[in-house]
Amino acid sequence: MHGDNNKTSKRKGLGNQTGTNRSLFRDVVVIYLLTFFLSLPFYFWKLHADLSILGEDALSRINSFVDNTAASLQPLLMDNMACTPGDVGALRKTVFLLYRVKEIGLINQDNRVYCTSNLGRTSIRIFPSTIARWPEIAGSRTLSLTRAKTGKTQSFFVYLRGQDGMGANALIPPDVLTELVGNGLPFDNLPFVVTVAGKPQLSDHNSIDVNEAKHQVSVLNFASPQYPLELEFLVTPRFKLHYLIEQYWISILLGSVFSLIYAYASHRRVLRQSLPATFEWALKNRELEVYFQPIVDPRIDNPLGFELLLRWQHPVHGMISPLIFIPLAEQLGKISALTDFVLDTAIDFIRDNEALMDSRYLSVNISRHSLLDHEFADRICQRCNNDRLITKHLLLEVTEELAFSESEMVTVIAQLNRLQTCGFRIAVDDFGTGYSGLDLIRRFPFDVVKIDKVFIKELVEEGTAIPLLDSMIELARRLDMSIIAEGVETVQQAESLLQRGVNYHQGFYYAKPMPQRTLLEWLNTFKRPTLSEEVELVS
């Protein structure tokens, strides 16, 4: 029967696995896409931030170029040059020394260029718009971008005033502006415009019309604080796309990290959700723990023994009651593994605590499913090496809750006999609540009977089950079985039981089930309870 169960669950498991992989793949794709789309605002923010820094840097490069050029003109204005051949030579020397400067002109108080490094003496009018921007104050500077009358080429001028309205200018090819901006940009596909006094100079790799371009793009604008100079980045859709592609590795990286986390989490979830695996997982990962609940004789300070009760601390669902997971384990055919686990804990405990265990015993619950397994008793006896030093400290509790068929009953009795032969003592658990209790005790000499807590509850409530309880006690005595009362929660219950001669108690009144690590501490501090004087003890 168990074999069939296993096969079905394995088959189901495989089907689920393929489905799970497919949906995992789908989820991972969704994660990548989501990561990409969700990070789009981040990319646009980053693009804006990157370009803002680059724009400010580019503008300050042009500013310092202009500053340096103007500073180099300063010495020429010191000694009122008359445009002698010597003066022209001095102008030419300066042109030679200055980066990218093609010509230098000297300007008189009428705002006319009267001497240039190329032509010598001359007389050229400066545009009124330039004069308007260039006050006659020593040190004032301005810029202009003009088209020479004779050619198509534009000229970029830097102007500097000296004393008494005199001045000088330097002619520079305007592509120095685009060069200065372009050199510091990490991309070569970002169009930009440098505007000098309202006249635009486009980046040379772009022949788009400025006005047309501005319609399709977002424009980032930077203005120089000192000069009539502006820089505009024309952020075209094409540039944005290139930028996104360049930055896509961030999304891939993030997407991969998220997918890995997700895949790991869902792997764990699937593992948890597949029930057969859950138990193996719980067993392997020590989520299952055995708790010990003392069984005491309230007349003495010494506990008689402990019942071993399984606890499952599930990382997601918290503490799961054995009333839930034991039946589940039975259904899934995993109960033997659980019984082995508890039994091994018991054996280890007996071996490790010889002195403590001297006159005490440990109680282990045996599932009805195990008793129907023909090999169970042999397996358990072998697990204890048929060692009577171990088995005499062990009490096996068998519940009588469910009805057994005649053939099942034969198997159960055979198993119980075999267990008793190897030295185990056997208890009938939850006595009085099941169907086969009487039949069981008639056919097998149990050593101990454990009376279920429902009867103990009745003791103080003066319930109708008291006569039943008394007859069970009577029966147990007649059959020479020790009696343990379960679920003793109050001193009144304890006293009432003692008066009936039931001296072995288990219940929250004495101690709740506890983990092994706190057991020794509890033992050291345990004292028998103080009972009312009128309690008449029956021996």
- Site for Ca ion, rule CB under 5 A: 365, 397, 429-430, 486
Considering only the stretches 30-38, 157-165, 273-281, 506-514, report the one whose residues sit in contact with ligand C2E under the rule CB under 6 A: 506-514
d(CA 446, CA 479) in angstroms, rounded, equals 9
State yes or no: residue 507 binds ligand C2E (CB under 6 A). Answer: yes
- The interface partner of residue 185, options being Ca ion, ligand C2E, none and the CB cut-off 5 to 8 Å by kind, is none
CB of 473 to Ca ion, least distance (A): 16
CB of 343 to Ca ion, least distance (A): 14
State yes or no: residue 334 binds ligand C2E (CB under 6 A). Answer: no
Considering only the stretches 92-100, 230-238, 246-254, 502-510, report the one whose residues sit in contact with ligand C2E under the rule CB under 6 A: 502-510
List the structure tokens of 7.
């096969």
Alpha carbon separation from 346 to 15, 313, 360, 495, 516 (Å, rounded): 39, 20, 12, 31, 11
CB of 365 to ligand C2E, least distance (A): 4
Q: Which is nearer to ligand C2E, 62 or 485 (CB)?
A: 485
State yes or no: residue 321 binds ligand C2E (CB under 6 A). Answer: yes
State yes or no: residue 310 binds ligand C2E (CB under 6 A). Answer: yes
Site string for ligand C2E, 375-414 (x = CB under 6 A): ----------------------x-----------------
Alpha carbon separation from 66 to 128, 132, 196, 228, 435 (Å, rounded): 21, 19, 12, 11, 105
d(CA 239, CA 228) in angstroms, rounded, equals 28
d(CA 33, CA 348) in angstroms, rounded, equals 54
Nearest to 244 by CA among 463, 36, 473, 2: 36
Q: Which is nearer to ligand C2E, 270 or 523 (CB)?
A: 523
CB of 325 to Ca ion, least distance (A): 15
CB of 318 to Ca ion, least distance (A): 23
Considering only the stretches 106-114, 138-146, 320-328, 373-381, report the one whose residues sit in contact with ligand C2E under the rule CB under 6 A: 320-328
State yes or no: residue 333 binds ligand C2E (CB under 6 A). Answer: no
CB of 318 to ligand C2E, least distance (A): 14
Residue 49 CB neighbour total at 10 angstroms: 10
Residue 195 CB neighbour total at 10 angstroms: 19
Considering only the stretches 139-147, 233-241, 475-483, 504-512, report the one whose residues sit in contact with ligand C2E under the rule CB under 6 A: 504-512
Cβ neighbours of residue 351 under 8 Å, at least 6 residues apart?
390
State yes or no: residue 180 binds ligand C2E (CB under 6 A). Answer: no
CB of 430 to Ca ion, least distance (A): 4
List the structure tokens of 266.
């869902």
Q: Which is nearer to Ca ion, 87 or 486 (CB)?
A: 486
Task: Give the 3-state DSSP-derived string for 489-527, with helices as H, strands as E and coil as C.
Answer: CCHHHHHHHHHCCCCEEECCCCCCCEEHHHHHHHHHHCC
Q: Which residues pair with 292 in a beta bridge?
A: 308, 514
Q: Which is nearer to Ca ion, 145 or 335 (CB)?
A: 335
Single out the residue of 489, 491, 499, 528 in contact with ligand C2E (rule: CB under 6 A): 489
Q: Which is nearer to ligand C2E, 234 or 469 (CB)?
A: 469
Single out the residue of 55, 322, 333, 437 in contact with ligand C2E (rule: CB under 6 A): 322
Q: Which is nearer to ligand C2E, 160 or 412 (CB)?
A: 412
- The interface partner of residue 191, options being ligand C2E, Ca ion, none and the CB cut-off 5 to 8 Å by kind, is none
The sign one gets for the Cα dihedral 322, 323, 326, 329 is negative
d(CA 259, CA 29) in angstroms, rounded, equals 9
Alpha carbon separation from 465 to 41, 268, 469 (Å, rounded): 73, 49, 6
d(CA 171, CA 14) in angstroms, rounded, equals 81
d(CA 192, CA 201) in angstroms, rounded, equals 9
CB of 493 to ligand C2E, least distance (A): 9
Q: Burial code of 369-387, b = ≥16 C-beta within 10 A, e = fewer?
A: bbbebeebbeebbeebeee
Q: How many Cα neighbours within 13 Å face the side chain of 193? A: 23
Q: Which is nearer to ligand C2E, 79 or 280 (CB)?
A: 280
CB of 397 to Ca ion, least distance (A): 4
Contact 413, 444 (CB under 8 A): yes
CB of 309 to ligand C2E, least distance (A): 4
State yes or no: residue 429 binds ligand C2E (CB under 6 A). Answer: yes
Q: Write down how long the chain is.
A: 539
Nearest to 102 by CA among 178, 170, 154, 176: 170
Total number of residues that touch ligand C2E (CB under 6 A)? 22
Residues at the contact surface with ligand C2E, assessed by CB under 6 A: 293, 309-310, 321-323, 326, 342, 365, 367, 397, 429-430, 453, 486-489, 506-508, 513
